């Protein structure tokens, strides 16, 4: 019987590992669809930002109360994982609290810490569910934000409920185990005097005092198994879910932009052409010798971005890291005033596009490519044209995601490849081209203002 449990455990662990490996490879391949860009420089500065923003959750504390609550879940996630280690070893070798005899003096302390965190996680998840469904925090409402309809709002609820259930299983498992230990039943009794009652689960013991020995063992086993199988299932689920930020948040912050928020990424492939046209820097452009038969510039892809493979890989990692909290959208002036643009939707659409491509790979082979594109089939021109490039979304993101960068690359495609811009933008372009100002004034009048400096 015990061996059967061990075999089952190994199989469950194996299946989990296989699924996760498969998903990680797919996601990595999807991120690599993006244009290459070297972000390895400034490791020290990047590390510092990752410690502050990812590990330290600095930006989450812009709202201190929510920051503290999120920190509880985050700390719980990291620290309770130590207990998972013992559970896995127990499962593999068919032991019960295998570490207890070796670290007897600190074992109760450790479990107490886990229990307090587990209780904290449970409580915060209840508060977070309340914020979504009862007090109706605006940025989380599908009625107000169309990108949250259907799956995203379910996803969010599943995650919170799953975490509550897992924590309840963990705490009641400890409680039922304590009662079994008190009764001195089987191997449970062996830890009598080694392992005491724990800080939180001791209060749950009365729930189990009415249980017969058989029922109690059954509950203990069921809770143990459901807890660990739940964690395995959750780990796989996370790779499909917005909750992937628990893993990708860290590299995402590490590789985030270091330049000032107002600085747009340069397009060096354009510079060469511009220099040629202006007849400058002959050592680079050489207008006399460099004609169509001469040296071709390195192959230029599309100007701007039409689809995910035109974006940079960091934009795609951003999309997988987004947990759809909507702080970006709540700060977006366009969204606040009822425009279609929502920076969160830009990130969700980018991920949806990637997930659709992934599904195509799985179903039709790794070379599969459908005829859809990010701009047009997922994101509309009306959305990207509503952006004021104010960077409030970039500033608001707790893990330094940059929706603006995607919007601007889509705009570049629209204008440079398709020559499609609102009429008044085209007028502005031609004014700049002809009059050196975005308005239709004569360039020779540019200095006329100086005539007025001595007028009262």
Partner 1 sequence: MTQDTMQYAVPTMAEMMAAGEEPEILFWVGCAGSFDDRYKRVTIAFVRILNHVGIKFAVLGPEEACTGDPARRAGNEFLFQMQAVSNIQVLNGYNVKKIVTACPHCFNTIKNEYPELGGQYEVIHHSTYLQQLINEGRVKVAGGESFKGRRITFHDSCYLGRANKVYEAPREVLAALDADLVEMKRSKANGLCCGAGGAQYFKEPEPGNKDVNVERVQEALGTGADTIAVACPFCMTMMSDGVKNQNQEERVKVYDISELIAQGQGL
Provide the 10 A C-beta neighbour count for residue 334: 20
Instruction: Quote the CA–CA distance of 148 and 77 in Å, as a whole number.
Output: 25
- Residue 276 found at the interface with partner 1 (CB under 8 A): no
Binding characters for partner 1, 429-448, by CB under 8 A (x = yes) = x--xx--xxxx-x-xxxxxx
Count of beta carbons in the 10 Å neighbourhood of residue 37: 11
The rounded radius of gyration (Å) of the Cα atoms in the chain is 29
Residues in the chain: 456
Q: What are phi and psi of 366, to 5 degrees?
A: -70, -10
Minimum CB–partner distance for residue 46 and partner 1 (Å): 19
Contact between 305 and 410 under an 8 Å Cβ cutoff? The reply is yes
CA nearest to 403, candidates 390, 415, 412: 390
Residue 144 CB, shortest distance to partner 1, in Å, is 12
Neighbours of 342 (CB within 10 A): 26
Nearer to partner 1, 45 or 382 (CB): 382
262 lines the binding site for partner 1 (CB under 8 A): yes
Residue for token pair 């920051």: 67
Using CB under 8 A, which of the segments 17-25, 240-248, 253-261, 287-295 binds partner 1? 253-261
Q: Which of 215, 264, 300, 362 binds partner 1 (CB under 8 A)?
A: 264
Enumerate residues 181-200 that contact partner 1 by CB under 8 A. none
Nearer to partner 1 (CB atom), residue 358 or residue 435? 435
**Interactions with partner 1, residue window 381-410 (CB under 8 A):** 382, 385-392, 394-395, 408
Position 260 contacts partner 1 (CB under 8 A): yes
Q: Which of 2, 65, 134, 450 binds partner 1 (CB under 8 A)?
A: 450
Tell me the closest approach of the beta carbon of residue 395 to partner 1, in angstroms: 5
Does residue 358 touch partner 1 according to CB under 8 A? Answer: no
> Binding partner 1 by CB under 8 A: which of 1, 65, 135, 266?
266
Among 143, 300, 422, 434, binds partner 1 (CB under 8 A): 422
421 binds partner 1 (CB under 8 A): yes
Per DSSP, the residues of 254-276 read HTS--S-TTPPPP-HHHHHHHHH
92 binds partner 1 (CB under 8 A): no
Q: Which of 106, 277, 300, 362 binds partner 1 (CB under 8 A)?
A: 277
Given a contact cutoff of 8 angstroms between Cβ atoms, the answer to whether 332 and 347 are in contact is: no
- Asked if 261 is part of the footprint of partner 1 (rule: CB under 8 A), the reply reads yes
Strand partners, 375: 379
Residues 364-383 that bind partner 1 (CB under 8 A): 382
Q: Which two tokens stand for residue 176?
A: 């039922």
- The answer to whether the beta carbons of residues 350 and 308 sit under 8 Å apart is yes
Tell me which stretch binds partner 1 (CB under 8 A): 69-77, 186-194, 313-321, 339-347.
339-347
Q: Tell me which of 274, 301, 369, 372 binds partner 1, using CB under 8 A.
A: 274
Applying CB under 8 A, among 107, 114, 208, 303 the residue interacting with partner 1 is: 303
**Sign (positive/negative) of CA torsion 147, 149, 151, 157?**
positive
Give the DSSP H or E segment for 251. Answer: helix 245-254
Which uninterrupted H or E stretch holds 138? none
């Amino acid at each position: 019987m015990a061996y059967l449990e061990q075999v089952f455990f190994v199989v469950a662990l194996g299946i989990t590992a296989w699924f996760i490996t498969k998903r990680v490879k797919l996601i990595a391949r999807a991120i690599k669809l993006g244009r290459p860009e070297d972000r390895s420089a400034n490791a020290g500065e990047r590390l510092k930002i990752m410690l502050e923003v990812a590990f330290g959750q600095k930006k989450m504390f812009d709202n201190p109360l929510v920051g503290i609550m999120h920190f509880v879940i985050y700390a719980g996630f990291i620290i309770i994982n130590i207990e998972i280690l013992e559970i896995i070893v127990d499962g593999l070798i068919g032991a019960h609290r295998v570490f207890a005899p070796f670290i007897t003096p600190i074992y109760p302390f450790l479990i107490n810490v886990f229990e307090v965190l587990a209780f904290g996680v449970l409580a915060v998840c209840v508060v977070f569910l309340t914020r979504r469904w009862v007090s109706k925090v605006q940025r989380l409402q599908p009625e107000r934000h169309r990108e949250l309809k259907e799956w995203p709002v379910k996803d969010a609820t599943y995650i919170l409920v799953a975490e509550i259930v897992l924590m309840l299983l963990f705490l009641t498992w400890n409680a039922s185990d304590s009662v079994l230990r008190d009764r001195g039943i089987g191997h449970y009794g062996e830890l009598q005097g080694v392992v005491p009652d724990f800080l939180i689960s001791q209060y749950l013991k009365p729930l189990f005092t009415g249980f017969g020995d058989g029922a109690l063992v059954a509950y203990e086993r069921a809770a143990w198994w459901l807890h660990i199988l739940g964690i395995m299932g959750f780990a796989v689920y996370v790779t499909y879910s917005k909750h992937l930020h628990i893993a990708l948040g860290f590299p995402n912050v590490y590789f985030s932009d270091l330049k000032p928020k107002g600085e747009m990424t340069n397009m060096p492939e354009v510079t060469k052409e511009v220099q040629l046209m202006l007849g400058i820097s002959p050592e680079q452009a050489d207008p006399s010798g460099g004609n169509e038969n001469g040296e071709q510039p390195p192959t230029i892809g599309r100007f701007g971005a039409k689809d995910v493979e035109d974006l940079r890989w960091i934009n795609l990692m951003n999309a997988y890291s987004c947990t759809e909290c909507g702080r970006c959208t709540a700060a977006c002036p366009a969204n606040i005033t009822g425009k279609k643009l929502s920076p969160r939707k830009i990130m969700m659409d980018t991920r949806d596009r990637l997930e659709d491509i992934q599904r195509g790979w799985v179903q039709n082979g790794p070379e599969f490519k459908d005829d859809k594109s990010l701009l047009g089939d997922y994101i509309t021109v009306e959305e990207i044209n509503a952006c004021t490039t104010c960077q409030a979304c970039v500033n608001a993101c707790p893990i330094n995601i940059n929706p603006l960068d995607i919007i601007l690359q889509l705009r570049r495609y629209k204008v440079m490849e398709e020559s499609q811009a609102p009429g008044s933008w085209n007028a502005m372009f031609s004014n700049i081209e002809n009059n050196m100002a975005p308005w239709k004034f004569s360039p020779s009048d540019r200095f006329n203002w100086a005539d007025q400096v001595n007028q009262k």
